Amino acid sequence: MSDQIAKLTAAPAESERKRVAEQKSMSETVQQIK
C-alpha cells in the first residue's frame, strides 16, 4: 500500500522536475539568442 502511495507522490514530482528543467533550458537558449 505504501509503495503505491510512494509511486503516486513520485510521479507529480518527476513531471514537475522535468517541467522546471525544460523551462531552465528554454531560458538558457533565449539568453544565447539575445
Q: What is the dihedral of CA 11, 17, 18, 19, to 10 degrees?
A: 110
Instruction: Provide the pLDDT for residue 1.
Output: 67
SS3 percent helix, strand, coil of the chain, rounded to 5, is 95, 0, 5
| pLDDT beneath 50: ranges in the chain | none
Q: What is the pTM of this model?
A: 0.57
19-34 burial code (b ≥16 CB/10 A, e <16): eeeeeeeeeeeeeeee
